[in-house]
Amino acid sequence: MKKLIVIVGVLVSVMVSCQKQLKPATVIIIDPVRHYYPIIQGETMNVEFELENTSDNPLFIQEIQTSCGCIVPRHELPLVILPHRNGYVSLEYNTIKNDGFVSHYAYCYGNFKDTTAILLQFDTNVVPGHEYFRDYEELWTEQAKQSPTFRRIINSSTSQKGYYIESINSNTENEERDGVDYIIP
């Protein structure tokens, strides 16, 4: 009996000592700060941030903390992005309790090199629904839903991503007007 306890104790100590240490990973965030076009109050907006794992180690995102309870991750955690691959942090934003200009963020915690978390930000204008007349956003949404060709053209164009970003540095391929980058094909 005493021998069995010793064997179990040795096995437990060996298993505990064989844990691998998680190595840090480097990541590039594609468009980490976004400004989305207006959305009608009560609708949900899906926001996907693309991450590129540029290291030789897998990237593990264990936790996502958002600025509002109206934003929830759309995937199970931990999120794993393999080395030299791209992955997505998908968030669902419910606009039911917001109106006007809103700015939100999400902190993603994982094995990032040189930091414990990365920051993802987006903003939009939430337009209240109108009972007596339809405004521009409602008309556009109806038109987009009825025309699959129209949505395919918008989704396939790299310059029409559904959001815009601020200019960080000057680039010869882009033209800057009013502090916003416009991509010239």
- Which domain CATH number covers 117? 2.60.40.10
One domain for residues 120 and 38: yes
Is residue 83 one of the residues assigned to a domain? yes
* Domain presence at residue 93: yes
pLDDT score, position 150 = 57
For position 83, what pLDDT does the model report?
Answer: 95
Element (H, E) at 146: helix 136-146
Q: What is the pLDDT along the chain (185 residues), one digit of tens a residue?
A: 666 554 545 545 545 555 568 899 999 999 999 999 999 988 999 999 999 999 999 999 999 999 999 999 998 999 999 999 999 999 999 998 888 999 999 999 999 999 999 999 999 999 987 665 666 677 677 777 777 665 555 555 545 567 778 776 645 444 444 555 544 44
Residue 95 domain-assigned? yes
User: Could you tell me if 97 and 182 lie in one domain?
Assistant: no
Domain span at 184: 147-185
pTM of the model: 0.64
User: CB of 120 within 8 A of CB of 49?
Assistant: yes
Q: Minimal CA–CA distance to 58: which of 27, 90, 79, 80?
A: 80
Number of domains in the chain: 2
Q: Would you call 34 helix, strand, or coil by DSSP?
A: strand
Task: Please say whether the beta carbons of 77 and 61 come within 8 A.
Answer: yes
Q: Are 118 and 61 members of one domain?
A: yes
What's residue 184's pLDDT? 46
Strands (DSSP E) found in 37-171: 39-40, 44-53, 59-66, 71-73, 79-81, 86-94, 100-110, 117-127, 163-164
Under DSSP, the state recorded for 147 is -
129 and 39 in a single domain? The answer is: yes
Does residue 72 sit in the same domain as residue 162? no
Q: Is residue 139 part of a domain?
A: no
